[in-house]
Amino acid sequence: MASSTAHADDAIQLGRRAVIACLIIATGVMVFSACPVIADEVEFSRDVLPLLQKHCLDCHGPDTAESHLRLDSPVAALRGGDSGEQAIVPGKSDQSYLLTRVLHADAKQRMPPDAEPLSREEIAILKVWIDQTSHWETAKQELKDRRLDHWSFQPLLRPAVPGTATHPIDAFIEQRLAQNQLTLSPSASRSTLIRRLSLVMLGLPPSPDRVAEFVADDSPQAWDRLVEEMLASPHYGERMATPWLDLVRFGETHGFETNRERPHAWRYRDWVVQAFNADQPYDQFVRDQIAGDAWGADAATGFLVAGSYDLVKGQDELLRLTQRQDELADIINATGTAFLGLTLGCARCHNHKFDPVTQTDYYALQAVFAGVNHADRALPMPAETQQQLERLDEQLAQLRQQLMPYLAENRDPATRKRPAVQAKENIERITPTETRIVRITIQKTNQSQPCIDEFQIFAAGKNVALASAGAKATSSGDFVHPLHKLEHINDGRFGNARSWIANDVTGGWVQIEFAQPETIDLILWGRDREGRYADRLAIDYRIECSPDGQTWELLATSADREPFATDQPSTPKYDFAGLSQQEQQRGQQWLERLEQLTATRDQLAQPILVYAGTFSQPDPIHRLYRGEPTAPREVVTPAGIAALTSLTMPADLPERERRVALADWIANKKNPLTARVMANRIWQFHFGTGLVDTPSDFGANGTRPSHPELLDWLASELIDSGWSLKHLHRLILSSQTWQQASHPRPDGVKIDAGTRLLWRFPPRRLEAEAIRDSQLAISGVLDLSVGGPGFSAFEVEAENVRHYHPKTHFESTDFRRMLYMTKVRQERDAVFGLFDCPDNTQVVPKRSRSTTPLQALNLLNSPFTLQVADLFAQRLQREANTQPEQIQWAYELCFGRSASADEVAQATDFITATDLQQFARAMLNANELVFLP
Amino acid sequence: MQNPVTRRQLMIDSAQGLGGMALASLLYQQGWSATKSPMRPVIDPDEPFASRQSHFPAKAQWVLMIFCSGACSQLDTFDYKPELIKRHGQPMPGAEKLVTFQGGQGNLTKSPWEFRPRGECGKMISDLVPHLGELADDLCFIHSLTGKTNTHGPGENFMSTGFTLDGFPSMGTWITWALGTENENLPAYVAIPDPRGTPQSSVNNWGPGFLPAAFQGTDFNATKPLRNLARPNSIDPQTDAKTRSFLQALNQTHLEQYPGDSELAARISSYELAARMQLSVPEVSDLSKESATTVAMYGADDAENPLKAAYARNCLLARRLLEQGVRFVQVFNGAYQTGGEGVSNWDGHKHLHEQYSKHGPVLDQPTAALLRDLKQRGLLEDTLVVWCTEFGRMPTFQAGASGRDHNPKGFTAWLAGAGVKAPFTYGGTDEFGYQAVENVATVYDFHATILHILGLDHERLTFYHNGIDRRLTDVHGHVIHDILT
C-alpha cells in the first residue's frame, strides 16, 4: 500500500506540471481543448490513474465496484455505473457525470463522500483527460468488443454436423450423450408415437381409428405422412398459439382493480393461430406484430397492447406519468423477451447489470414505442366493403330525392319542426348577424349538469369562437374536473375528455366573446362529438347574441325543434296522408326500401374493432434518472440497442416508421438473437425444456445452451428455410431423438436425471389446456370450431370492479378448446388454473409444472369433471354394446391403446361394484391420460 | 396449548406417508434452482410442502395477517393526535397542495371517536376498537408506514406483494415457498376472505405471481368451504372410496412402465394427500366443537350482528388453522365484491361516522378474541400477528363530505406475538397524523421485518424471473430492528 501511494504521488506531480502550464495559457477561460499542445501530455496511467487511485478506486475499483462503476481504466470508466448517467462523455467534460459528482456543491452529493474534495489541479487533469478525444476511440471500440463477448451476441454461423449419424439432430445429441457414456433410447412404440405426436403438435389425443390405421401402416412413409397431416391441421396453429400467447402476456381483460373486459382482443389470438397455420415466415410474423399496421396486418399489433392496462388514472400527475411509464415498460419488456430473449425491462432504472443494454438504450426503445396507446382500433375497411357502401349511398340518395316531396315539413309548413337535439352534433343556421358575444343558456338537460364539448361559431366558414382566434369564454360556473374545463369549450377539440360541464344541475350558460365583432351565420355544438356519451345533453336552451353584454337578441332556440326523446333517434318524418292510393303505396315502398338499405348500410359500415392499440406521434423522450418521471435527463432519440446495432433514427421520425425500423432490425437474419431464440422455443415446445432453459433470457444472466452447436444449426435451418417453423418441426420430428422411448433407464437417471442430454424423450404432465381438451375430446363433446370470440369460464358480476364467479354448469358452448376460454387476468379457471395455467399478467416464457392435492381434488370433484364424466359414460354406452367393449373403447379413447385382459377384468369388477360414470371419472383422472408419453 | 402434539404428530404422519424418490429431475423441470443460491429453498417435488429450514433461526414459525381492505383510517383507530382535536374545524396548513384521490379537501377533522389510555402502557386508542384497546400491552405499533400509491388496487397489491403492479407473488406465497408447512394435510397457506366477499385486488392478495402455483393461498372461509373439496353429493362415500382406489390401481399399473419416475409418483401421492385433506379440512373448519365460552368470546354467536358473527367465525377458523400448523393465514376484514366505496370496507370517503360505526364492531371483538385465544393457548409464542391495511386516510374531511380521502404518506400497522416488542410504538406522524415524520418506514421495510422474524433474509430470498432475481422487497427495504425482541 505504502509504495503504491508513493508512486501515485509522484505521478500527480508529473501531471500537475502539465496542467498548471495549461491553466496559465487558458487564463481562466477553462476551455482546455484550446491548448492542445499541453493536453497531449495528459496520459491516463501517468496523470489520471494516480489521482483516481487516491480518491476513487477504494470504492470504484476492481475489488469493490460500488454501483458497478469502475474507474481503473478508460474502458471501465466509459462503461459507467448502474445509474445510467454517463460517467464520461468523451470530449465533453461538462456533460460527464464524473465531473458533476466531484464538483457537486452539495457535500452530501459530492464525490468522494465524507472526504476532502478534489483539488483544482486534480479536477483540471480530469477535464483534460475527458476532453482530449483522441484516446477515447480505442476505449469505445474495446468496450463494444467486450460487451459483445457473450455467446448469444456472436454472429450466427452454421456449424458442421458432427459424426456420421443419419440425422443431423441425432448427430449433435449423440455426440454429447457419448461424452457422458450415454446413448439414445430405442424407438417408442407406434401407438406411443402417434399419441405423443398428436398431443405435442395439436394438444389433442389421436382418434382410436387414426391410431389403428397408423399402427397397421408399415409403409416407410407412414410417419412422414402423419407428420404432414398434423402440420396441415388447423389445430396445429391453436396448439402453437398457446405458448405464444403466454409469452406475449395476452389477456382479454385489462387487469388492475376494475379488470374490465377487452371484447375485441380475440382477433389478435385468431391472427396468431392463422399465422402459424399458414406457416407465415417467422421474420414476417415478428414484423407484423411490431408494425403490421404499416402494411395491413392490423390485428397483429394486438401484441403491443396485449398486456395489462390500468383504466383508473391517478389524479396526481406523478401517478399518471408513472402509469404511462409502466405501460411503455410492458411493451418494451414484452418485445425484448419475446423476440430477442433480452430482459430490456431491467434497464428502465439503471444500466443492465449483465447485458450490454444501457439506460439510454431503454429510452431509445421507449421513443420507438411511445406513440402506442392502449385502445381498440378500427380495422381499415376492405376496398370491397367501401365500394358496396358507395353503391348503397347512391341508392339512398336517390330514394331520399324521390321521397323529398313527402317530408312532413315540406308538406305542411305550419307543423314544420327542426329535428330534436342530438348528443353528437346540433346545427343552428342563423341569418347573418354582426355581433360580439354569443351565449347559450341551458334551461334543462336530459340528465345532470349540462355538458358541451365544443361550441363553434362560424363567420364566413371560419370558426371565430376558438380561443386561438382570440375569443374568450366565460360561464355561469364550472364543474371541477380535469376532463371538464371551461377552456375546453373553444379549444378546437372534440369529445367528452375535452368538454365543459356547468356546475349546476338546473342549468347554466356559457358565452363566447370574439376578439372583434363578427358576422356570424352558423353555430355547431354537441355534447360528445365522439358519440360515446349522451347524458348531460341540453334539451331546452336558447342562443342569444349581444354587441355589448347589455342587450340580447335571440338567435336560436330548442322551441322550434321536435321534442327530445331518449329512445328515438330523430329521423325525417314522411307524411303520405291525403295522397292517391297509388301514390301512397309507392311512397311507402320507397320508405321501406330506404329503411332497409339504411339498416344494411349501418351494419356494413360498422367498424371491425380489434384491441391492437392506436398510434400518435409522441413528444420527445427523455432518459429518466433512476426511472423516475420527475427526473428527466437528456432527450433520447429512437434507436435499437447501441451495442448490437447501428440503428439510429431522427428525432422527428414518424411514429410508425420507428416501429418499422426496429422490426426490420429484429427480424433480420443478421440479428444474432432472433433466430436462436425462436429455434430454442420450438425445441422447448417439443421437449419441455429448451436447449437454453431460460428461454426469454439469452443474456449473461441466462443459462448457456446445453448443445450450442445444435442451437446454431437449428437457427441456421430456420433462416435458410425462409424462416419456416414447420420446417423446424419436420426436422425435429424426423429425428430419433424425438422418436425415442420415454422410459427411465438406470444409467440415464444416474448421470442426467433432468434428461437435459436427452437419453430419453422427457415425459411430462400435459398443460392445462391439453388436459381439458383431451377430456372433452374423449367424451365426444369437444367443439373444434376454429377462431372467433371465446367463451367464459365465469359468471361475470358487472360492477365497476368486475367480479368473476366460476361457472358450475356447462353448456355445449363451453366445450370449445381452452385456447378460446376468455383469458381473464387475476382469475384463473377454477379447475385448470390450478394446473399452472397462467393469467398472463406477466410474460410467461415457460410454465411451471406443479403437482398438488388441490389439482387432485378439483379433477375428481369439480362440477366440470362430473359433467364430463357423465358425458363420457354416455358416449361409452352409446358407442359400445357390452361392458368389455365399453372398457376397451374407453382405453382406446383415453390412452390410445387397447386394454389388457387383466385391465378389462379389473375394470369390470370396479364397474360392477360402482357404475360406468365412476369408471369414466377415474379414467379422466388417470396419469396415463394426463402425461405425455 | 389445547392440543400440543397435533403439529408434531402430523409432521411425523405426513413424513411416513411419503417416501423419498429421485428428485433432481423435477427440480430441473420446475425451474427451481437447487444450486444457484444456498438461500433459495430446495423443494422436494414429492413433498413440495415439506417443512424447510429458514436462513437463520426464526423467532416466529407461523404468520397470521389481518388485512383491513379499503384503507382503515389511522386517525380513528390507533394514531392519537391531540393537535388534530385541538384544531378541529380549522384549515390544514398547506392543504391546497395535498395530493388526493377524490379532490378538494375541507378542514381538519378530529375523530368522531374518543381516544383514551389503554392497558398498563396507557397507549391512546379510540373507542371505535375498545376490545383491541384492551390488548394494548400486547401490541407493537408502527405509525410511520408510507406507501407508493393512493389507489386501492395498487395499494393492496403493494401491501400484499411488494409491487403496485399485478402479477407478483404474495407475501404468503414467498413464505410458504421458502418454509413449506408443518401440516401437509392442510393447505400450507390459507386466505380467509371477508364474509361479504373478496378485497379490491381479490386473488392478487394471495396469488402466486411467477412463483410455482402450488404455493398460492387457498381461499375459503367459515361460510364458503374450499371449492371442490367435498365428495360430490351425488356419490356415496363407499363408491367414492372405490373410485379413488381404482384410480390409484390404474396409476400403479402405469407407473410400472416408468419405474422411479418422480413426477408420476408425486401425482399418485397428491391423490393420497387430497384424500387426507378431505378429512382434515372439514375437521379444522368444524367450529361446532368450540366451547360456548370461546364462541361467545369471539362474538360468533352475536345474533344481533350477523356480519360480526360471520367474521368472528372466520377468526375462529384462523385460530384452528394456525393450531394445526398452517404456515400463513390471511384474514380479510372488508370486501369490495359486495358494495362499493365504504359500504362493506374501510373506504370512508363520504360518511365515515356512519360507515365505521358498522365496520368497527365487526372487526373489534372478534379480532381481539383471536389474539387473546392465540395467547392463552400459547400459540402467540411462535406466531407473528400482522394487522395492516393498504394505506391510511387524511386528517381532513373531504370538501362537502363527512369522510376522509386516501393518504399513503403516514399510516399505521401493528404487530403482535413472536419476535416483536410489546407494548411498543415505533415511528410517528406529524401533529395532524398526515405524514410520517419520525422513523419513517416503507412497506418494503415492513415486509423485510416480517421475513426477518421468520428467519428469512429479504435480500436473499429470491426467485429468478425474466432476467431478474425477484424479491418480495424489490431492491428496497431495511429490517426495522428497533421493534424486534
Report the domain count for chain A: 6
Q: Is B264 an interface residue toward A (CB < 8 Å)?
A: yes
Task: Give the domain extent around A247.
Answer: 235-375+617-702
Instruction: Give every residue of chain B whose pLDDT is below 70, as ranges.
Output: 1-38, 45-46, 96-100, 103, 337-340
Question: Based on the domain organization, do A139 and A153 belong to the same domain?
Answer: no
CB-CB under 8 Å, A854 with B218: yes
Write the residue in B30, B229, B253 that is nearest to A849 by C-beta: B30
Write the residue in B210, B242, B268 that is nearest to A910 by C-beta: B242
Query: In 3-state terms, what secondary structure has residue A661?
Result: helix
Q: Tell me the per-residue pLDDT of A44-60, one tens digit each, with 9 for 90 and over.
A: 888 888 888 888 888 88
User: Which residues on B lie below 8 Å from A747 (Cβ)?
Assistant: none
Question: Given this model, what pLDDT does residue A741 score?
Answer: 97
State the helix-helix crossing angle for A222-232 and A725-733, rounded to 10 degrees: 150
Residue in the structure block whose three cell numbers are 466531484 = A102
CB-CB under 8 Å, B228 with A858: yes
Within 334-363 of B, beta carbons closer than 8 Å to A belong to 336-337, 340
Within 29-48 of A, beta carbons closer than 8 Å to B belong to none
Q: Is A927 an interface residue toward B (CB < 8 Å)?
A: yes
Pick from A106, A90, A99, A95: nearest CA to A125: A99
CA distance to partner chain A, nearest, from residue B296 (Å): 33
Q: Is B149 an interface residue toward A (CB < 8 Å)?
A: yes
Q: Is A313 an interface residue toward B (CB < 8 Å)?
A: no
Question: Based on the domain organization, do A46 and A83 belong to the same domain?
Answer: yes
SS (H, E, C) A366-396: HHHHCCEECCCEECCCCHHHHHHHHHHHHHH
Question: Based on the domain organization, do A301 and A392 belong to the same domain?
Answer: no
Pick from A648, A670, A675: nearest CA to A340: A675
- CB contact set of A178 (below 8 Å; sequence gap of 6+): none
Question: Based on the domain organization, do A29 and A132 belong to the same domain?
Answer: yes
Question: Based on the domain organization, do A299 and A364 belong to the same domain?
Answer: yes
Pick from A348, A354, A345, A342: nearest CA to A68: A354
Question: Based on the domain organization, do A359 and A455 belong to the same domain?
Answer: no
pTM: 0.75
Which of A717, A745, A765 marks a domain boundary?
A765
Pick from A202, A229, A237, A200: nearest CA to A213: A229
Question: Based on the domain organization, do A273 and A361 belong to the same domain?
Answer: yes
SS (H, E, C) A462-503: EECCCHHHCCEEEECCECCECCECHHHHHCCCCCHHHEEEEC
Neighbour count for residue A374 (Cβ, 10 Å): 20
- Flag whether A402 is in a domain: yes
- Flag whether A690 is in a domain: yes
Question: Given this model, what pLDDT does residue B20 score?
Answer: 25
Within 472-491 of A, beta carbons closer than 8 Å to B belong to 480
User: Which residues on A lie below 8 Å from B244 (Cβ)?
Assistant: 860, 922
Write the residue in A801, A842, A853 that is nearest to B270 by C-beta: A853
CB-CB under 8 Å, A255 with B263: no
CA distance to partner chain B, nearest, from residue A602 (Å): 38
Question: Based on the domain organization, do A289 and A361 belong to the same domain?
Answer: yes
**Rounded to an integer, what is the distance from CA B285 to the centroid of its chain?**
18
User: Which secondary-structure segment (H or E) carries A614?
Assistant: strand A614-615
Exposed / middle / buried, residue A465 (Cβ in 10 Å: 0-12, 13-18, 19+): buried
- Flag whether A554 is in a domain: no
Question: Based on the domain organization, do A161 and A295 belong to the same domain?
Answer: no
CB-CB under 8 Å, B154 with A861: no
Question: Given this model, what pLDDT does residue B216 score?
Answer: 87
- Flag whether A639 is in a domain: yes
Question: Based on the domain organization, do A369 and A460 belong to the same domain?
Answer: no
Tell which of A919, A927, A929 to mutate to test the B interface (max B CBs under 10 Å). Answer: A927
Tell which of A692, A697, A767, A848 to mutate to test the B interface (max B CBs under 10 Å). Answer: A848
Neighbour count for residue A305 (Cβ, 10 Å): 27
Question: Given this model, what pLDDT does residue A412 score?
Answer: 64
CB-CB under 8 Å, A848 with B340: no
Q: Which residue from B minimizes the CA distance to A916?
A: B243
Query: In 3-state terms, what secondary structure has residue B483?
Result: helix
Q: Is B326 an interface residue toward A (CB < 8 Å)?
A: no
HSE-CB for B225 with a 13 A CA cutoff: 14
CA distance to partner chain A, nearest, from residue B292 (Å): 33
Question: Based on the domain organization, do A401 and A285 belong to the same domain?
Answer: no
Pick from A770, A753, A751: nearest CA to A762: A753
CB-CB under 8 Å, A701 with B213: no
User: Which residues on A lie below 8 Å from B465 (Cβ)?
Assistant: 842
Question: Given this model, what pLDDT does residue B12 score?
Answer: 30
Q: Tell me the per-residue pLDDT of B150-175, one tens digit each, with 9 for 90 and over.
A: 888 889 999 999 998 888 999 999 99
Question: Given this model, what pLDDT does residue B98 score?
Answer: 67
Pick from A925, A829, A888, A820: nearest CA to A235: A820
- Flag whether A917 is in a domain: yes
CB-CB under 8 Å, B467 with A699: yes
Q: Tell me the per-residue pLDDT of A266-293, one tens digit each, with 9 for 90 and over.
A: 999 999 999 999 999 999 999 999 999 9
Instruction: Give every residue of chain A whose pLDDT is below 70, as ranges.
Output: 1-41, 409-416, 566-572
Question: Domain-by-domain residue ranges, chain B?
Answer: 6-390+415-483
C-alpha span between B217 and B199 (Å, rounded): 14
Question: Based on the domain organization, do A6 and A74 belong to the same domain?
Answer: yes
Which of A665, A683, A702 marks a domain boundary?
A702
Preceding omega of B423 cis (within 30 degrees of 0): yes
Question: Given this model, what pLDDT does residue A123 score?
Answer: 87
Question: Given this model, what pLDDT does residue A410 score?
Answer: 67
Write the residue in A754, A851, A913 that is nearest to B266 by C-beta: A851
Question: Given this model, what pLDDT does residue A162 score?
Answer: 92
- Flag whether A110 is in a domain: yes
CA distance to partner chain A, nearest, from residue B156 (Å): 10
Question: Given this model, what pLDDT does residue B339 score?
Answer: 59
Which of A685, A702, A719 marks a domain boundary?
A702
CB-CB under 8 Å, B203 with A826: yes
User: Which residues on A lie below 8 Å from B159 (Cβ)?
Assistant: none
Q: Is B63 an interface residue toward A (CB < 8 Å)?
A: no
